[in-house]
Amino acid sequence: MSTSARTSGWSGQAEHTDERTTAPVPPAEDPFRRPPPGWETAAPGTPLRSRDVTVAFLGRIPLQAKAVQVLYRTADMHGDAATTCTTVLLADDAAPAEDRAILSFQCAIDSLAPEAFPSYTLRHRAPTTGEVVQLELLLIANALARGWAVSVPDHEGMQGNWGAPREAGHCALDGLRAARQHSGFGVTEQSAVTMWGYSGGGWATSWAAEMARDYAPELNVVGAVLGSPVGDPELVFRRANGHFFAGLAGLAIAGLIRSYPAMHALVDEHVDARGRALLDGAIVWRTRQAITRMAFTDFGKYMDVPVSAFLSKPEMQEVFADIRPGRGTPAMPLLVTQAVHDQIVPLGGIDRMVAGWVGRGVRVTYVRDRASEHFLLHIVSAPLVLGWLTDRISGVATSGSSTVTVRSVLAPLGRLASGIRLLKVCGRVLRGAPLSGGSAG
């Protein structure tokens, strides 16, 4: 099976292969990821090649879903031609549907290593790492159980450019374009499109939401969910230094110096050889490795100036201004969730981002949770998120903007019932059973 290219300059055919029984090879050794000649002239979102794969929970329990990976043309942070992959999923027991809804799920990759990308780590027989991306398959399965198609893009691009502005938005939106062009999922121009991401995935979804109207106006985006979306990266950097999650700041610095020459020069000027070696090592670490190896690291001990002074330098302030979401104006309704006592993403940055959007007329439902911390909210907010997305796909209108602080997003009885349904789907994943169980999930 082949998918014709949508392009004015590239006239090739997107070769399709069947790798459902093949164990994944490390991304650097995977020929699938090398684009065919002439790909640069293809239009954004053009499929360049595709393959059937098997997706599995923790790399071990096959998911009862059709899975196709698509290599497609997209753009980097500067708008220059680039490629990346998305994994497109549909439950095996999904009912036939015209104009099937599709969700773009931006995983919390939070790593520069390609081995952490969902296109690798979600595959059957991939190493079981217990990273957040592998665990997020349970949330993806709940979306699939509702009959939606799901696109899971490698939103950091092929190089793992975590934190780079705009690139994640390009990758997510072009992944939706590529998924729509591939046959077999029932996604059309009229299909309702939604987006969802948490933490680093929420950061990526922020860019996609802000860019969708101008970059991909043909997509019928009806709603986006941003969970703890790193509203002010500078605040995250300052909080992380010297604390348990210092590794997240280290990962971001290691990635951003590849994208910003002035920041690279600043690091060379003020960071000693030990600190630079630490950043070099971070390039190949998955998130959990980086957090463990850099826990409680005070990066100031590797600098000839205090960390606060380093972050306040004009070169760093320019970077922070460029990577900070919230300056665009999303055209679709937003649901933003945030833990009041989040230990990684400060509440104040999210408050200001939401206030800016609301001031520009964006319809934002902002829910702040007092009982949860960063990781717990990702789990307990899922019933709220899935219900909200279902309403947007069904055409239920939002009633303007609102901000509410609750003890727990699980508190309403109806949401507890939704939580039970979510757990039932998780049980089906663990048993390797059909996802819908004869219901809508």
pLDDT in tens, 42-53: 999 999 999 999
Concatenated DSSP letters for 3-22? EE---SS---EEEEEE-TTS
For the CA atoms of 172, 176, 178, 180, the dihedral, rounded to the nearest 10 degrees, stands at: 180
CA distance 116 to 90: 22
Grade residue 27 by pLDDT with cuts at 50, 70 and 90. very high
Percentage of residues in the chain having pLDDT higher than 90: 90
Concatenated DSSP letters for 357-385? HHHTT--EEEEEESS--HHHHHHHTHHHH
pLDDT at 333: 98
Is pLDDT at 1 greater than 60 in this prediction? no
Q: What is the mean pLDDT of the chain?
A: 94
Is pLDDT at 440 greater than 60 in this prediction? no
**403-415 pLDDT tens trace:** 999 999 988 766 7
Concatenated DSSP letters for 70-87? EEEEEE-TTS-EEEEEEE
Specify which residues 328 forms β-bridges with: none
CA distance 373 to 384: 16
pLDDT at 399: 86
Work out whether the CA dihedral 120, 232, 222, 389 comes out positive or negative.
positive
Give the range among 35-49, 315-329, 426-440 with minimum mean pLDDT: 426-440
CA distance 412 to 203: 28
Q: What is the DSSP letter of 34?
A: S
pLDDT at 7: 43
Region 362-386: what's the mean pLDDT?
A: 97
CA distance 103 to 260: 32
Q: What is the DSSP letter of 241?
A: T
- Catalogue all structural domains in the chain, each as residue range(s) with its CATH number: 3-231+325-431 (3.40.50.1820), 240-323 (1.10.260.130)
Give Cα 422 distance to the centre of its chain. 21
pTM: 0.95
Region 230-237: what's the mean pLDDT?
A: 95
Q: What is the DSSP letter of 408?
A: -
Percentage of residues in the chain having pLDDT higher than 70: 96
Specify which residues 366 forms β-bridges with: 336, 403
**239-283 pLDDT tens trace:** 999 999 999 999 999 999 999 999 999 999 999 999 999 999 999
Is pLDDT at 12 greater than 90 in this prediction? no
CA distance 54 to 23: 9
Q: Would you call 52 helix, strand, or coil by DSSP?
A: strand
Region 126-145: what's the mean pLDDT?
A: 95
CA distance 292 to 122: 22
CA distance 56 to 76: 29
Is pLDDT at 8 greater than 80 in this prediction? no
**91-135 pLDDT tens trace:** 999 999 989 999 999 999 999 999 999 999 999 999 988 889 999
Region 364-379: what's the mean pLDDT?
A: 97
CA distance 155 to 174: 10
pLDDT at 2: 36
CA distance 406 to 339: 10
Is pLDDT at 163 greater than 50 in this prediction? yes
